A and B are shown apart, each in its own frame.
Chain A
Amino acid sequence: MSAELAEPASKIELPAHIGGGGEIPTFNITLRVRRYNPEVSEEPVWEDHQLTMYGTDRVLDALHKIKWEIDGSLSFRRSCAHGVCGSDAMRINGRNRLACKTLLKDLDTSKPITVEPIKGLPVEKDLIVDMEPFFQSFREVMPFLINKGHEPTKERLQSVEDRERFDDTTKCILCAACTSSCPVFWTDGQYFGPAAIVNAHRFIFDSRDDAGDMRLEILNDKEGVWRCRTTFNCSEACPRGIQVTQAIAEVKQAILARKI
């Protein structure tokens, strides 16, 4: 649970004689992007782009190349471009990933690389979806410290063990890769979704927080944790390696332990 998941090893070895000096090999790819513009057509369309990319490039760089050099109307979100802000979650080759953490050379470059918006949320334009339902669920689990005691004069001390208890779920960057990979969420948008449960878990198991019962009661809803079918899509999708399904199971057990 606490072990940081290693990045998947690169599948293509760069030859030894290419050691720095800017001599990075190039290869050609076809990027197949799902385009949607409600002002032009109600139907989304696939659009292919042939690109020459470098061995160090990520999917985000290919999208930048299209937007900056070929077609400026392509729309997608990205902020930090380094896997921290969680803006550029998208469905790449049928899997939810961050475009800024997915190296092109790790994908099958012999076939077109498909890029779609994440599923289950309303698409606004191209790769941009309406995140409001996602953030509403996040708000409803009250993802902030609630402490009924007196305000301490210094920091709120916590033992290493108590901090370790919820360490995994502190890593969430709210990219929505987990929630939009969940088949229950695809058909039932009212389900709180893995991300909201992960962020509730982060406070439920925090020894400094006093509102765990309140959050458990919120997630004991008919659209709460009991909708989870343990398909593990969320754990696979998480770009931060959070054991999402395990976190959901721990919340289920906490609700059971409290009620019975």
Chain B
Amino acid sequence: MSTDIQSPRSGKVSGGKIAPQYRRGAGSKGNFEMFAWLFMRLSGVVLVVLIFGHLFVNLMVGEGIHGIDFGFVAGKWADPFWQFWDLAMLWLAMLHGTNGVRTIINDYAEKDATRLWLKVVLYAATVVIVVLGTLVIFTFNPCPVANGVQLPGGFCPAP
């Protein structure tokens, strides 16, 4: 014989006895929190490689820290490899950080309205930075020209 046992959810059973701040809503379907948790671990590991690789190439290789100028960055972003590297770093770091702050807001914001507005600000800031950063990486032009006149930079070949 087998009986199907329903899980005793607080919303259904003896909900009246428990103060509202302890009452759980209906069970959430989906695995969002699980994937968020997994993403934090995986992106963390990848970010360690990306960030230390970034620091090593910028600060140690060649002339090291003295070699960093506008031209150095322009040279890096002419290479699809570094475009992809910086793009991955931007997206992973922003999503990793955003998710971290999201959990902190969830943990510490006590009022629903406070939680909502903090998250609105957080997500808006994330979207702006990710979109702007992605645009810069892909549309970066080391020799900008305005009205037929080259803007000052000093190392672009004369047209």
Contact = CB atoms under 8 A, between A and B. Distances in A.
B22 A136 contact: yes
Interface string B26-59: 0110011110111000000000000000000000
* Size class of the B contact interface (CB-based, 8 Å): 20 to 34
B15 to A, nearest CB: 9
A105 B84 CA distance: 63
Contacts of A17: none
A154 interface: no
B76 interface: no
B28 A221 contact: yes
B126 to A, nearest CB: 20
Given A140-B10, A214-B7, A189 B110 contact: no
A167 interface: no
Contact of B13 (A139, A188, A190): A139
Contacts of B36: 226
Interface in B12-31: 13-14, 17-19, 21-24, 27-28, 31
Contact of B8 (A132, A133, A139, A146): A139
B5 interface: yes
B37 A226 contact: yes
Contacts of B32: 222
Interface string A96-128: 000000000000000000000000001000000
Contacts of B14: 132, 136
B36 to A, nearest CB: 7
Contact of B24 (A151, A220, A221, A229): A221
B150 interface: no
Interface in B102-121: 103, 106-108, 110
Interface stretch (A24-32, A34-42, A51-59, A251-259): A251-259
Given A142-B8, A146-B5, A220-B34, A190 B28 contact: no
B56 to A, nearest CB: 30
Contacts of B31: 220, 259
Contacts of B147: none
A173 interface: no
Given A132-B14, A214-B5, 8 more contacts: A136-B13, A139-B13, A140-B9, A184-B107, A187-B108, A218-B27, A220-B33, A252-B37
Top 3 A-B residue pairs of the complex, sorted by shortest distance between their CB atoms: A133-B22, A226-B33, A189-B22
22 contacts: A132-B17, A133-B19, A133-B22, A136-B13, A136-B14, A139-B13, A140-B7, A142-B5, A146-B5, A151-B1, A187-B108, A188-B107, A190-B22, A218-B7, A220-B34, A221-B24, A221-B27, A222-B32, A224-B33, A255-B34, A259-B31, A259-B34
